[in-house]
A = this chain, B = another copy of it.
Amino acid sequence: MNKRKIINDPIYGFVTIPYDIIYDLIEHRWFQRLRRIKQLALTDYVYPGALHTRFHHALGAMHLTGQAIEVLRSKKVDISDEEAEAVAIAILLHDIGHGPFSHALEHTLVNIHHEELSLMFMEQLNREFENKLSIAIQIFNNQYPKKFLYQLISGQLDMDRMDYLSRDSFFTGVAEGVIGHSRIIKMLNVKDNQLCVEEKGLYSIERFLTARHLMYWQVYLHKTVLVAEQMLIQVLKRAKNLAQNNGLSTPSNALNFFLNNDFNQNDLNNQGGEILNQYAELDDADIFSTLKFFKKNEDFALRYLSEGLLNRKLFKIELKNQPFDSDYKDNIRQNVTNYFGEKIDVSNFWLEGKESNTAYTTQKDEIKILLKSGKLVSMSEIDVLNLPKELITKYYLCYPKIFH
């Protein structure tokens, strides 16, 4: 059977399955699950085209990684066939530990970082696939001697970011987010075991970073997306509370498993198998069918939040560059409390927090530029560029639209 299939991708045209094992991994039910997990959670509430999945993203990132490997090899970087396959596996599976509506639900469903779950899945797959994923896992864990392979899949200029920026801007239709991925990849090189970009690619990198900056504010942290995700978190929190104290149960056994327990990294280490199996059952459909189930629940908060989400009747959100004034907050909180009275726990209906973004950090693992002189320097050492501000924080406040 020919496993070198060709898959249509509206961004790159065609993605070719490069190795038989990649085909087999894609066929695996755990990878197929990613078809049911949207990359951008509730972002389609603002950008209706943003329905692409982690499945498609993983294929795309693998495609770009293959191109990068080809470019590096053409520049005499030594990469064996075994390593090329391993890095393809590693990038394909880098997000397999994502659950539905990450990052929103990442710390609500389980208190475990998705990368730990990805690793756990990869290790289990490694057993199923007779240790053929061993090098991929070493690369994923940055334990492989050729560090630049790790940097290809995880770093400030990795193929993960390269694909998701391209993909997210394509499907949202935010044209300004487009980056020159082909050009950047053509400019990649390796020096001193480090992935780097040739000097001629400097301005493409600058553009890449401002694209990321724009996508943060215009898409990833768009205030309507923010408030929808906050409401979803509150639904799950409320449901957890009711499950653990009042015996609430949903039609999804897997979801019930996570509502009834508060798993953390320790639990994963101790009873990983069961957690993994249940986790592998979850996808976006569980969440949405549960919202529909909840909208008829007797608990007012659960009902109110679920119906709001389903019908896109969202809370009001206020966003500022400075923290909100205490009096201002207290006042609103009091109004919410007065309005709803005992029907709700105000902590589910009055949400405050902050969001930060770092389009680029100079604190560690900077992007490296290979000057024409042969010298390797960090991005921030280059005078002519404008790096995005390191850290930008915005403060938000969400609450029901009760005051007209």
Please report A residues at the B interface, Cβ cutoff 8 Å. Answer: 6-11, 13-14, 27, 29, 32, 35-36, 44-49, 51-53, 55-56, 59, 170-176, 178-180, 182-183, 186, 202-204, 206-207, 210-211, 213-214, 217-218, 251-252, 281, 283-286, 288-289, 292-293, 310-312, 321, 383-389, 392
Among B27, B59, B176, B252, the residue within 8 A (CB) of A179 is: B176
Check B217–A211 contact: CB distance below 8 A.
no
Among B59, B213, B292, B383, the residue within 8 A (CB) of A206 is: B213
Please, how many angstroms separate the alpha-carbon atoms of A285 and B250 in the complex?
14
Copies of this chain in the oligomer: 4
Q: Which residues of B contact A45 (CB under 8 A)?
A: 35
Please, how many angstroms separate the alpha-carbon atoms of A27 and B314 in the complex?
11
Distance in Å: Cβ of A202 to nearest Cβ of chain B: 8
Q: Other CB < 8 Å A-B pairs besides A285-B289, A286-B292, 5 of them? A: A32-B312, A204-B214, A210-B386, A251-B289, A283-B288
Check A311–B32 contact: CB distance below 8 A.
yes
Please, how many angstroms separate the alpha-carbon atoms of A213 and B170 in the complex?
23
Could you show 5 A-B contacts with beta carbons less than 8 Å apart? A8-B49, A27-B312, A35-B312, A49-B52, A321-B383
Known contacts A48-B7, A285-B288: A207-B387 contact under CB 8 Å: no
Among B218, B252, B312, the residue within 8 A (CB) of A203 is: B218
Distance in Å: Cβ of A24 to nearest Cβ of chain B: 13
Q: Which residues of B contact A310 (CB under 8 A)?
A: 29, 32
Q: Which residues of B contact A27 (CB under 8 A)?
A: 312
Q: Which residues of B contact A202 (CB under 8 A)?
A: 217
Please, how many angstroms separate the alpha-carbon atoms of A45 and B210 in the complex?
29
Q: Which residues of B contact A179 (CB under 8 A)?
A: 176
Check B14–A49 contact: CB distance below 8 A.
no
Check A203–B186 contact: CB distance below 8 A.
no
Please, how many angstroms separate the alpha-carbon atoms of A175 and B47 in the complex?
23
Check A203–B178 contact: CB distance below 8 A.
no
Closest to A312 in B: B32
Distance in Å: Cβ of A167 to nearest Cβ of chain B: 9
Check A214–B207 contact: CB distance below 8 A.
yes
Check A8–B47 contact: CB distance below 8 A.
yes
Check A214–B218 contact: CB distance below 8 A.
no
Q: Which residues of B contact A182 (CB under 8 A)?
A: 13-14, 175
Please, how many angstroms separate the alpha-carbon atoms of A281 and B306 in the complex?
14
Among B14, B44, B55, B204, the residue within 8 A (CB) of A35 is: B44
Please, how many angstroms separate the alpha-carbon atoms of A252 and B286 in the complex?
12
